[in-house]
Amino acid sequence: MKHTIGVLMENKPGVLSRISTLLARRSFNIDSITAGPTRNHDVTRMTVVVEGDEYVADNAAAEISKLEDVLEIERMMPGQSTSREIMLIKIKTGPKERTEIIDLAKVMDCAIVDITVDTLMLEHADRPEKIDVLVKLLSSYEILDMARGGAIALRTGE
């Protein structure tokens, strides 16, 4: 099972590296790790997704919280948080496949970001499980390349 951990940390060089190294040394299976600025330029928000049971997720959060540059940490629980990923996927297309893929892109609310004579590139930002569905639906076509960003998450409500 995948568990999402939100981390607010000081915006300093090397903090992301220290967190990923700490988790790797402790043999946590990191599914994704992303970081970016917040509205406060001195603070960075990191979203870490680890794979394992509740015990693994709690331990990963506890280990991260021990680092001196970490300001706040919280487990993102289903129903109390929103998570999104982004994906780019390039598919080989002929005239028949192009129409089918464009129709699928409309249904799945994807953006077409590049189109050539032989390829079509889609962008999709959604919940990780919806991206998994899109990849599965497109697997019957020839996928030439794919890039998937890690999850970002925020707690819902106030």
Q: What is the pLDDT of residue 157?
A: 84
Is the same domain home to 15 and 71? yes
Say yes or no to pLDDT of 105 above 90. yes
Percent of the chain with pLDDT over 90: 69
Q: What is the pLDDT of residue 106?
A: 96
Q: CATH no. for residue 45?
A: 3.30.70.260
Domain that residue 14 falls in? 2-76
Is the same domain home to 71 and 92? no
Is the same domain home to 105 and 135? yes
Locus of tokens 């390039």: 90
* C-alpha 2 chain-centroid distance: 12
CB atoms within 10 A of CB 84: 16
Q: What is the pLDDT of residue 102?
A: 95
Contact criterion met (CB below 8 Å) for 70 and 64: yes
Label residue 6 by pLDDT band (50, 70, 90): very high
Q: What is the pLDDT of residue 5?
A: 95
Among the candidates 46, 61, 76, a domain finishes at 76
Q: How much is the pTM?
A: 0.83
Query: Which residue, among 149, 141, 151, has the nearest Cα to 90 in the 3D structure?
Result: 141
CB atoms within 10 A of CB 80: 11
Among the candidates 19, 52, 76, a domain finishes at 76
Is the same domain home to 86 and 109? yes
Label residue 113 by pLDDT band (50, 70, 90): very high
Half-sphere exposure of 3 (CA within 13 A, CB side): 17
d(CA 148, CA 145): 10
